[in-house]
Amino acid sequence: MEDNKVYRASTFAPVNIAVIKYWGKRDTKLNLPTNSSLSVTLSQDDLRTHTTASCSASFASDTLTLNGQPQDISTPRTQACLRELRSLRKDLESKNSSLSQLSSLQLKIVSENNFPTAAGLASSAAGFAALVRSIANLYALPASPTELSRIARQGSGSACRSLFGGYVGWNHGSAADGSDSIAYEVAPADHWSDMRAVILVASAEKKDVSSTAGMQATVGTSALFKARAETIVPQRMEEMEEAIRKKDFAAFASLTMRDSNSFHATCLDTDPPIFYMNDTSRAAVRVCQAINETAGRTVCAYTFDAGPNAVVYYLAADEAAVAGTFRGILGEKTGWEGSRGEKVEKAGQVPENIAGSVETLQKGISRVILTGVGDGPRQTEEHLC
């Protein structure tokens, strides 16, 4: 091996927003969930993590830098990912002596998120998916996205779904070692490519209760949680997969909204209660209901993660009715500039009976992000170091 040679590989990885939520672990060390979940991968043209993984005999220790700030790389979750990836590389090296011994070199990982970190915009999902994918590329691992999803899950549960594009399931699995708790493609992005999303960013602040802490408080104290994990979600997973296969937006939307509500109900049922949605979030729910009522059919579906931001899914054909209404209300906010936002036709009047919600939304939303379903991680020659 050449002394001091720097080996590197870079990737972009997407954010995913669940429509059937992961909430609760049966094993906190391995991030094994109590229920399966399903998400839509969002386009990396709008939201993405960019990560470069490099290794060299000249590096003194493993390091991780996120948005220019050194991060603690010694956390058990990051260490679990690095250990698994190094071990796969070591296996390759032991079978082929002509391979450079990269598994014994220190890693330098540099990453940038083009959206607020830890604001409920699934930064840990894109972040760990990018970390795992970039190191797998650096090590030239023949591992499939499914195998890498098993590793990324140990970084952050929802990260396993960001190894795939399109519509992605995560099977809760039953093996104690987590070998069957992996992500799978329900349908690629081009199966239902006209799925769009407008994200209403309510707050770019760091949240009070992390997903990790919040979900275990729910597991420990919520009486509703058991029914959700054992009965409600298994049934919804089947219905959601069918809705996606048939491209049935009304069914997709109804399941998405009900599952978001069910997840937030278990948060409220936690002792002490956890509030991720706020007045702004509830105003977004009312506006979505009004949009659907005005259209006379279901044209949009809201969902909320562990934070107040609304993600509103809709189909391209209903852009004027959905994004157009939000443009009418939030047209002054950041996010409408550029060809995509400017193309959104402002819809007509919003019903008078939701004037209060409209005002709350105007006060509480700082920016919007227009996006849609997208593909999985992309290798790139643009290196960050």
Ligand X SMILES: C[C@@](O)(CCOP(=O)(O)OP(=O)(O)O)CC(=O)O
Closest CA to 254 of 246, 243, 245: 243
With beta carbons less than 8 A apart as the criterion, state whether 209 and 274 touch.
yes
Out of 121, 202, 253, 344, which residue is the one contacting ligand ATP (CB under 6 A)? 121
Nearest approach in angstroms of CB 240 to ligand ATP is: 19
Residue 53 binding result from ligand ATP, ligand X, none, given CB thresholds of 5 to 8 Å by partner type: none
3-state secondary structure of 184: strand
Q: Is 154 in the site for ligand ATP (CB under 6 A)?
A: no
Query: Which amino acid, one-letter code, is at 148?
Result: L
3-state secondary structure of 27: strand
Taking CB atoms, the residue at the shortest distance from ligand X is 157
- C-alpha distances in angstroms, 171 versus 129, 130, 261? 17, 21, 21
Nearest approach in angstroms of CB 127 to ligand ATP is: 2
Where does this chain touch ligand ATP (CB under 6 A) — which range of 20-28, 52-60, 120-128, 277-285?
A: 120-128
Nearest approach in angstroms of CB 197 to ligand X is: 14
With beta carbons less than 8 A apart as the criterion, state whether 366 and 203 touch.
yes
CA dihedral sign, ordered 310, 315, 317, 318: negative
Nearest approach in angstroms of CB 362 to ligand X is: 26
Residue 131 binding result from ligand X, ligand ATP, none, given CB thresholds of 5 to 8 Å by partner type: ligand ATP
Residue 179 binding result from ligand ATP, ligand X, none, given CB thresholds of 5 to 8 Å by partner type: none
3-state secondary structure of 14: strand
Q: Is 211 in the site for ligand ATP (CB under 6 A)?
A: yes
Residue number, 100 or 216, with CB nearest to ligand X: 216
Residue number, 33 or 324, with CB nearest to ligand ATP: 33
SS3 content of the chain, % helix, strand, coil (to 5): 45, 20, 35
With beta carbons less than 8 A apart as the criterion, state whether 279 and 360 touch.
yes
DSSP structural state of residue 251 = H
Nearest approach in angstroms of CB 77 to ligand ATP is: 8
Where does this chain touch ligand ATP (CB under 6 A) — which range of 121-129, 163-171, 244-252, 350-358?
A: 121-129
Out of 24, 33, 127, 308, which residue is the one contacting ligand ATP (CB under 6 A)? 127
Nearest approach in angstroms of CB 304 to ligand X is: 8
Residue number, 105 or 131, with CB nearest to ligand X: 131
Residue 31 binding result from ligand ATP, ligand X, none, given CB thresholds of 5 to 8 Å by partner type: ligand X
Length of the chain: 385
> Site residues (CB under 6 A) for ligand X?
18, 21-23, 31, 37, 124, 156-158, 211-212, 305-306
What is the spatial distance between Cα 70 and Cα 72, in angstroms, rounded to a whole number? 7
Where does this chain touch ligand ATP (CB under 6 A) — which range of 29-37, 118-126, 251-259, 281-289?
A: 118-126
E strands of the chain, at which residues? 7-14, 16-20, 25-27, 32-33, 37-41, 48-56, 63-66, 69-71, 106-113, 167-170, 183-187, 195-201, 300-303, 310-315, 367-372, 378-380
Nearest approach in angstroms of CB 364 to ligand X is: 20
Out of 10, 54, 113, 154, which residue is the one contacting ligand ATP (CB under 6 A)? 113
Q: Is 135 in the site for ligand ATP (CB under 6 A)?
A: no
Q: Is 111 in the site for ligand ATP (CB under 6 A)?
A: yes
Q: Is 281 in the site for ligand ATP (CB under 6 A)?
A: no
Q: Is 66 in the site for ligand ATP (CB under 6 A)?
A: yes
Question: Is 71 buried (19+), middle (13-18) or exposed (0-12) by CB count in 10 A?
Answer: middle
User: What is the Cα gyration radius of the chain?
Assistant: 21
Residues lying near ligand ATP in the complex (CB under 6 A): 49, 66, 111, 113, 117-125, 127-128, 130-131, 158, 210-211, 305-306
